[in-house]
Structure 1
Amino acid sequence: MINVIISSLLFLLIFSALIFGAEEEFRLDIDDLYLSEGTSTNLVISLKDTKGAELVEVEGLDNFQVLSKRSGSQTTIINMERSYSKQYHYVIMPKEVGEFTLQGVVEYKGKTYRTNKLQIKVEERKVNHNQDNSNIFIRTTLSKDKIYFGQKIILKYDLFTRYNLENYGFLEEFNFNDFISQVKSQDQLKANYVYLDGKKYIKYEVGQIILTPTKTGKLKIPDYPFQANISTGDFFSSSKATYFNTEAKTIEVLPLPQEGQPEDFTGIVGNLQLDSNLADQEVEYGDSTTLNIKLTGDVNLDSLDKILDNDISGFEIYQTQKDKKEEIRGMEYYAEKNFDVILVPKESGELNLPEIKLPYFNPEKKEYEYATIAAKTIKVNGGVKKVQQNLVASSNPAKESQNKSIEISQINTTAQTDEGYYTFKIKKNYLKIALATIGLLILLMIIYLAVNRYKGSEDEELKEYYKQIKKAKDEEELYHLFNQIIKYKYNISLKANSKAELSARISDVELLANIYEIIDYIENKRYSGNEVSLDMKEKIKEIYKKINN
Structure 2
Amino acid sequence: MVLLLTLLGLTTPSLGAPTISASLSPKSFAVDQAATLTITILEGKGSIDQLPEVDGLLFQRRGQSRQHQIINGSLSSSVSTIFQVQANRPGTFTIPPITVSVEGQPLKTQEIRVAVTPATGLQPPDESLAPPSASDGSEQMAFLRISPVKQESYPGELLPVEIKAYFRSGLRASLNSHPRINGDGFLLTLPAEEPRQTEENVDGIAYAVLTWSGSLSGIKEGEQSLRVAVESTLLLPTGNSRRNRPRGGDPFFGNDPMADFFNQQQMQEKKIQLISPETTLTVLSLPTEGRPEDFSGAIGRFQLEVKAQPTDVGPGDPITLTMTVQGTGNFDRVEAPPFSTNGGWKSYTPTAKFTPGAAPGQGTKIFEQAIIAKDSLTTVIPSLAFSFFDPENNQYQTLHSAPIPLHISGAAEPGKDAGSDTGKVENAGTGGPESRNEQGLPPNEEGKSIQPGPPAANGLDLAPLHPQLGTLHRKMIPLISRPGFQAGVLTAVLLLITAITLKIRARLRTGDPVRSRRQEMTRLLEHRIREIHTARDQGDTRAFLALCRQAMQEQLGALWQMEPGAITLADLRQRLAADATLLSLFGTAETSAYGGCQLSSQEMTEYAQKLEAELRRLA
- For Structure 1 versus Structure 2, the TM-score category normalised by the shorter chain is 0.3 to 0.5
Higher strand share: 1
TM-score (norm 2): 0.42
